[in-house]
Structure 1
């Protein structure tokens, strides 16, 4: 089963014509969303319950691990990862109990390289989140080097991680290849960031906007379709998230990809045309 969605639900003007859309409106088009708000702070359980009220019962959420778990932020003195993990899981409990958590996403920064210390840290992450589906996105290409690729794949399988299959710029030596090796037969996660070579390594306040400012062309989507179709043969569930949000292209590209795969999403929310 293949599900397609975007990062966040608010910023997809293509879907509604509005600067910001509601989750209810977004869920009229897609059965899946990646929520990045949890990267910045553990959401209150009341917020989680409100999200669940706005979507159909089969709608799925991908929740980013808060940044302290992925070394984007140092652990505060007196805090423990184990306690924070329990707090995070408790906030998501309604979503988990209703079967609407597709997976947690641990997106690591470019400085998280393939070292013994970091391999041990990934084991720690699995230990503190032992019973939830967990996807890992690596942004340092040392994990994919000829010296480590086989061990990286084997380790991800051993720990029951789904190693995220990433599409990003192809012409830069620092980027991650689209490695189509399935490490978890229960679920596979694709993230399509776009191929903005010029903006990928941008810094400063506009970095995020420049990095994901990209519109996939039909021939590029055709190539990605083949990779996704092959992964479907090896995995029970597939999630495809378009993260090329900056130029407003993610939602349109996602719907184009849905059509290329000849998918129909059942049990979506009614759209505005259907309300009258």
Structure 2
């Protein structure tokens, strides 16, 4: 059986820092990561979605965490079809843009010259090398938007991303139900298995166009589960901020639903990553600790860093 790792989708969320979860003496970025890593064995880095990471950051993350601590890295938004503010591109990339594109407020990858996209991927891959060499890179996680439908063209995009990431493990999450509807689910999962891409299982509100069913399935030797909360009224509502969308605290019964699913995933994989994305106040860390306790009580192997 593979080990289960639990953690959250951020360790620096402002609403978490406003709670007393971190001891009063923990005040610096270094101390916060060290404290987090003393409690959990896994974290997801979401800052890499908003801006390309710096290699120096990856060096520090590796140095400040115990042996066997794992980072899942969220892919830069340009790579997943999200609008990307021009100002968030490194100067090197901005200087490669045609003049008219450089004047826009944001860009989609389809608008950007191929050489710029290639350079961005190269910078992203290079920046993660310190984590990979340290054995601390869990997966590069690509979250696609609700307008990313099942299609031959988008399957090709997934395959291209798999090639670009090379030896880095890759996971994908869909926010468009067509990938897992009755017509396409088998094709989706078969494609991911063929290319060694981890399907990201989700616990999230149901009943919207951005809802994907809570199917627990492994398509590689790594399984990933992300818990987004079950706040249906804000899940797909325009103009709702991140804090309101994910402001949901799971109760024990809701988390317990996942214990048999995690056991099944553990039997099929080398590792299971269970990540709380209900990043509001201390909800995520509380639920991650709760889930780990439930997994231990069920005698499912738990990964320990250090």
Per the normalisation by structure 2, the TM-score is 0.82
Aligned length: 266
Q: Work out whether 1:110 is the aligned partner of 2:112.
A: no
Describe how 1:227-246 pairs up with structure 2 within 5 A: 227-246=261-280
Pick one of 5, 8, 32 that aligns with 2:7: 5
Q: Distance in 1 between matches of 2:305 and 2:141?
A: 25
Q: Distance in 2 between matches of 1:141 and 1:154?
A: 17
Report SS of the residue matched to 2:73.
strand
Shift of residue 8, structure 1, vs aligned partner = 1.1
Deviation larger for 41-50 or 28-37: 41-50
Residues 139-185 of structure 1, C-alpha deviations (whole Å, 9 max, x = no match): 1000111111110110010111001001101344641101112111x
Q: Work out whether 1:42 is the aligned partner of 2:62.
A: no
Deviation larger for 68-77 or 221-230: 68-77
Q: Distance in 2 between matches of 1:79 and 1:28?
A: 42
Pick one of 245, 252, 269 that aligns with 1:211: 245
Report SS of the residue matched to 2:172.
strand
Q: Work out whether 1:253 is the aligned partner of 2:287.
A: yes
Shift of residue 84, structure 1, vs aligned partner = 1.8
Q: CA RMSD in A?
A: 1.9
Report SS of the residue matched to 1:69.
helix
Match of 1:272 in 2: none
Q: Distance in 2 between matches of 1:28 and 1:147?
A: 44
Higher helix share: 2
Describe how 1:43-122 pairs up with structure 2 within 5 A: 43-73=53-83, 74-75=108-109, 76-77=112-113, 79-122=115-158
Match of 1:15 in 2: 21
Shift of residue 4, structure 1, vs aligned partner = 0.4
Q: Work out whether 1:181 is the aligned partner of 2:183.
A: no
Pick one of 172, 195, 201 that aligns with 2:230: 195
Shift of residue 130, structure 1, vs aligned partner = 2.6
Shift of residue 264, structure 1, vs aligned partner = 5.9
Shift of residue 267, structure 1, vs aligned partner = 4.4
Report SS of the residue matched to 2:256.
helix
Shift of residue 72, structure 1, vs aligned partner = 0.4
Residues 236-275 of structure 1, C-alpha deviations (whole Å, 9 max, x = no match): 111100000124300000001111111666445xxxxxxx
Deviation larger for 73-82 or 35-44: 73-82
Report SS of the residue matched to 1:16.
coil
Residues 170-228 of structure 1, C-alpha deviations (whole Å, 9 max, x = no match): 344641101112111x1111101110011111222x43112111010111011011111
Q: Distance in 1 between matches of 2:267 and 2:233?
A: 35
Q: Distance in 1 between matches of 2:166 and 2:304?
A: 31
Q: Distance in 2 between matches of 1:173 and 1:9?
A: 30
Q: Distance in 1 between matches of 2:195 and 2:40?
A: 30
Match of 1:138 in 2: 174
CA contact (8 A) 2:176 2:209 kept: no
CA contact (8 A) 1:33 1:60 kept: yes
CA contact (8 A) 2:229 2:248 kept: yes
CA contact (8 A) 1:6 1:254 kept: yes
Unaligned 5+ runs, structure 2: 84-107
CA contact (8 A) 1:212 1:247 kept: no
